[in-house]
């Protein structure tokens, strides 16, 4: 094989690498929405964010002695719209304490988003440059974390929450954490 042929092999090599890579996502039992977090059972990263619409700042000091859920969202994120009815339902039924982190978003857009789809959050922090999302190791939006009374991350969900996730994961998790 001469070197002249080498460039013609590049597309094939790139494709094989990609295929091997993508196939991991389809391995049995792999669910992209159940990606484990390196931070599971570790203390939640500390943050201190400006509040939305001039509300008080949001930091993890606010989470003392409570089981809280932190939901990363953005007005430009389409799956966030899909999950908003589920979040609204949780908020209406008062099942969980939910804080929102508005990820890489213009605050005025976020306000419009909440006006249209409803505001399920107790309070919202604005993560305009995405630093807090990086600290949490968030893959994108929407993403939801559960933090226990001691401030440790106990659960993580990538992608929109569904009614199924609520009954199969969130409610059992609440029972487990409530019991301990």
Partner 1 sequence: MIIELGHFALILALAVALLQAGLTLTGAARNDLNLMAAGRLAAMAQFALIALAFATLVHAYFVSDFSVANVAENSSSAKPLLYKLTSVWGNHEGSMVLWVLILAVYGAAVAWFGDAMPPRLCARVLGVKALIAIGFLLFILLTSNPFLRLSPAPEEGMGLNPILQDPGLAFHPPFLYLGYVGNSVAFAFAVAALIDGRVDAAWARWVRPWTLASWCCLTLGIAMGSWWAYYTLGWGGWWFWDPVENASLMPWLAGTALLHSAIVVERRDTLKSWTILLAILTFSLSLVGTFLVRSGVLTSVHAFAHDPRRGIFILVLLCIAIGGSLALYAWRAPTLEPGGVFAPISREGALLLNNLILASCCATVFIGTLYPLFLDAVGGPKLSVGYPFFDRTFVPLMIPLLLAVGIGPLLAWKRGDVLGALQRLWAAFAAVIAAMLIAFYLSHGGPVLSVLGIGIAAWVGGAAMVELADRLRLFRAPWAEVARRALAQPRASYGMTLAHFGLAVTVAGIAASGFEQQSIALLHLGQTLPVAGYMLRFDGIGKHEGVNFTADRGDFTLLDGTRVVAQLAPERRFFPLQQQTVSKTAIHTNLLADFYLALGDPDDKGGWAVRAYWKPLVPFIWIGGVIMAFGGAVSLSDRRWRVGVAARRAAKGALPVDGSRV
Interface with partner 1 (CB under 8 A): 4-5, 8-9, 11-12, 15-16, 19, 21-23, 25-26, 28, 30, 32-33, 35, 74, 76-79, 81-82, 85, 103-104, 112, 115-116, 118, 130, 133-134, 137-141, 158-160
Q: How far is the CB of 149 from partner 1 (least distance, A)?
A: 27
- Output the smallest distance, CB 180 to partner 1, in A: 29
Q: Closest separation between CB of residue 150 and partner 1, Å?
A: 25
Give 67 or 82: the residue with its C-beta nearer to partner 1. 82
Q: How far is the CB of 24 from partner 1 (least distance, A)?
A: 8
**Rounded to the nearest whole angstrom, what is the least distance from the CB of residue 104 to partner 1 in the complex?**
5
Report yes or no: 127 and 102 within 8 Å, Cβ to Cβ. yes
For residues 82 and 89, give the distance between their C-alpha atoms in angstroms, rounded to a whole number: 13
Specify the 3-state DSSP secondary structure of 148: coil
Instruction: Rank residues 104 and 149 by Cβ distance to partner 1 and give the closer one.
Output: 104
19 or 179: whose CB is closer to partner 1? 19
CA 131/CA 104 separation, integer angstroms: 9
Neighbours of 175 (CB within 10 A): 10
If 0-12 CB within 10 Å is exposed, 13-18 middle and 19+ buried, where does residue 111 land?
A: middle
Nearer to partner 1, 32 or 176 (CB): 32
Distance of CA 34 to the CA centre of its chain: 11
52 contacts 110 by C-beta, under 8 angstroms: yes
Q: Which is nearer to partner 1, 4 or 93 (CB)?
A: 4
Exposed/middle/buried for residue 154 (C-beta within 10 Å: 0-12, 13-18, 19+): buried
């Amino acid at each position: 094989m001469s070197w002249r042929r080498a460039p013609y092999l590049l597309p094939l090599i790139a494709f094989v690498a990609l295929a091997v890579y993508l196939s991991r996502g389809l391995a049995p039992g792999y669910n992209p929405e159940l990606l484990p977090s390196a931070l599971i059972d570790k203390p939640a990263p500390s943050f201190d964010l400006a509040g939305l619409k001039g509300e008080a700042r949001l930091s993890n000091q606010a989470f003392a002695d409570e089981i809280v859920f932190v939901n990363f969202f953005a007005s430009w994120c389409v799956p966030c719209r899909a999950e908003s009815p589920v979040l609204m339902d949780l908020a209406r039924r008062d099942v969980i304490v939910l804080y929102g982190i508005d990820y890489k978003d213009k605050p005025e857009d976020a306000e419009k988003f909440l006006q249209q789809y409803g505001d399920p959050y107790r309070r919202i922090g604005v993560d305009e440059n995405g630093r807090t999302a990086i600290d949490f190791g968030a893959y994108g939006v929407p993403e939801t974390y559960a933090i226990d009374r001691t401030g440790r991350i106990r659960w993580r969900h990538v992608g929109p929450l569904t009614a199924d996730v609520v009954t199969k994961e969130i409610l059992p998790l609440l029972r487990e954490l409530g019991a301990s």
